[in-house]
Amino acid sequence: MEIRVLAATGVLGAGFKVESLNRGIALAPTFIACDGGSTDSGPAYLGSGKPKLSREACARDLRLLLKARDTLRVPLIIGSCATSGRDVGVDWMAQLARETAGEERLHFKAALIKSDQSTAYLKRRLAEGRVRPLFPAPPISEQVIESSHIVGMMGTEPIQAALAAGADVVLAGRASDSALYAAIPLTLGADPGLSWHAAKTLECGAACAVVPAADCMFARIRDDHFDIEPLDLNARCTPQTIAAHTLYENANPFLLTEPSGVIDTERAEYHALSDRLVRVTGSRFREAAQYTVKLEGAQLVGYQTIVIGGIRDPYIIRALETLLPKAQAFFDTRIAELFPGQLTKNDYDINYRIYGRDAVMGPLEPMRASAAGYEVGVLITITAPTQDLANKIATFVSHVSAHLPIPEYQGIISSIAYPFSPPELPRGAVYRFSVNHVVVPDDPYEMFRTEFVEI
Amino acid sequence: MATLFDLCSLIRSKNAGPFVLTFDLMFSSRENYERAKRSQPLTKHLLAQIYGQREEDITLVYHDHALAIKASIPRPIFQGELRDGDCYGGQQYVPLLQIEVA
């Protein structure tokens, strides 16, 4: 048995070299896959449904992959469309595919697999005790479910079903990155341990190559091993870089959890076949006793306006620790005065981040107590229930912050240097990740909906 | 005496999902890795102290094939929360750089 897998790049829209793709096409892959999303860029994408990468960048990669698929007549699988994998993201990608197909005169059957979760379904599973926290998880409740946008992360099964029904192109909502690559090998009867481990290694494209790049990787899965190499002839990979990829963005490199079980790489062996080709053996997959689907949810926190400035005066810098709490107390009074009955203290948040002191590590900063540098940056974030309120609060926050009094000077001073006029920058809606839970469904399909469209 | 920074070719922190912060320490040679594996400069106890966590919530693995130490902790502030100053978790490894290795 040999299954050949072409991984286009780490995330659709990040790009890849045309020569690398062409080299992959020449190697006659069994299928092509590419992941399109992640939570790594924060909750804004899941909260808003907007993609992180530009339409132009995604369209460029999609066009090349649709044409490659057309040449080879093999399946193309794209998952977690438009960063979050929300239904609107799948529709957005489908529209891009339609436009590209029109321009390039391509014809294919596409499966759109949607992964948004209804509040009614999740509330029912919650009541049944079939929504379980992962560690660490924020508390879950009906209220959290109602106020969050939640997607389920699909395993291989809905993708395999779509392909079995004749899909040429699968555009999936939120999906396990590895499931995109494991679906076809598992259907074809490849060894589950090798299929999943190869899939896990491929899902970031050439991120596991030397030098790491947004580019194509290629794997051959055979009976008792898989071989993997970057498709850029100038890139290499080594047993160490392939082994090390199991570390990337995972909590435990030996045990990688998927909906249907755990990829166990503890006994995997890595051998260099050349300076750019690595053979992997000994990977295992342990079926879970119970199938679980991970949930990702984002909840609106409010609307934010920010103010950016800098302080150069050493006497003001050293006084900040006492000045800022005083300013905060003044803001509370002022907000109560300007917005009586409209805003309580829990409805808004005003926060100073002092760059040059502890803005990056906060209370964990080991150098916190030591003297600050000769200059600090100040980022003020104002979060309120509406953009209008955040803007209005920000105007007096920026004004007051620019005139913080210190005993060394008599008379009014300008205590912060603002680079912009106006100094207040509206930032729009702000979201938080609100769930870190799994659902125990009746089967791997019930949380996902597939439509077929002829393009 | 050498520090982890001296012996490693890469030290990084990263999100492992929005709720877990993970550290990868890749050693620049097998010799350096074996030295660290022998002397165990990075322990759950030390990580718990630096990052204000409970030892039982920390994962710590010495990975022989990757020549790496891998540690994961609950994210001190969940990714994207109002007080989170590091959305990608990418600058949280700095207190590990100067840890000494016997």
Interface of A with B in 299-318 (CB under 8 A): 301
Count how many domains chain B has: 1
Q: For residue A369, what are its two tokens?
A: 């107590």
Q: Kindly report the nearest CA distance between residue A210 and chain B, in angstroms.
A: 13
Q: Which domain holds residue B54?
A: 2-101
Q: Kindly report the nearest CA distance between residue B37 and chain A, in angstroms.
A: 16
First to last CA, chain A: 33
**ipTM attached to this prediction:** 0.93
Residue A120 burial (CB count, 10 A): 9
Instruction: Mark yes or no for CB contact A138/B91 under 8 Å.
Output: no
Report the candidate in A188, A184, A203, A178 with the shortest Cα–Cα distance to residue A285. Answer: A178
To probe the interface with A, which of B34, B70, B75 has the most A CB atoms within 10 Å?
Answer: B70
Angle of CA points A49, A50, A53, to nearest 5°: 140
Residue A56: predicted pLDDT: 97
**Cβ–Cβ under 8 Å, residues B9 and B28:** yes
Task: Determine contact: A270 vs chain B, CB below 8 A.
Answer: yes
Instruction: Mark yes or no for CB contact B82/A430 under 8 Å.
Output: yes
Report the candidate in A380, A386, A379, A382 with the shortest Cα–Cα distance to residue A302. Answer: A386
Task: Determine contact: A187 vs chain B, CB below 8 A.
Answer: no
In this structure, chain A runs to a length of 455
| Rg (alpha carbons) of chain A, rounded to whole number | 26
CA distance A141 to A151: 16
Report the candidate in B90, B34, B43 with the shortest Cα–Cα distance to residue B63. Answer: B34
Residue A247: predicted pLDDT: 86
Considering CB atoms only, which of A253, A351, A430 is closest to B66? A253
C-alpha distance from residue A418 to each of A95, A175, A190, A403, A411 (Å): 43, 44, 61, 12, 20
Q: Kindly report the nearest CA distance between residue B63 and chain A, in angstroms.
A: 8
Query: Chain A residue closest to B24 (CA)?
Result: A247
To probe the interface with A, which of B33, B50, B53, B82 has the most A CB atoms within 10 Å?
Answer: B82
Number of CB pairs < 8 Å for A and B? 119
Residue A371: predicted pLDDT: 75
- Give pLDDT < 70 ranges for chain A: none
Instruction: Give this prediction's pTM.
Output: 0.95
Instruction: Mark yes or no for CB contact A248/B94 under 8 Å.
Output: no
Average predicted confidence (pLDDT) for chain B: 96
Q: Kindly report the nearest CA distance between residue B102 and chain A, in angstroms.
A: 23
Residue A287: predicted pLDDT: 96
Residue A333: predicted pLDDT: 96
Residue located via tokens 């491929």: A202
CA distance A4 to A32: 9
Residue A373: predicted pLDDT: 87
Query: Chain A residue closest to B58 (CA)?
Result: A251
Instruction: Mark yes or no for CB contact A349/B17 under 8 Å.
Output: no
pLDDT (tens digit per residue) in A165-217: 999 999 999 999 999 999 999 999 999 999 999 999 999 998 888 888 999 99
Residue A104: predicted pLDDT: 97
Residue A160: predicted pLDDT: 98
Q: For residue A259, what are its two tokens?
A: 């909906």
* Cβ contacts of A42 on chain B, cutoff 8 Å: 79-80, 87
**What's at A330, amino acid-wise?**
F
* pLDDT band for position B57 (cuts 50, 70, 90): very high
Beta strands per DSSP E along A321-448: 349-355, 376-384, 424-435, 437-439
Q: Kindly report the nearest CA distance between residue B83 and chain A, in angstroms.
A: 8
Interface of A with B in 365-404 (CB under 8 A): 366, 381, 383
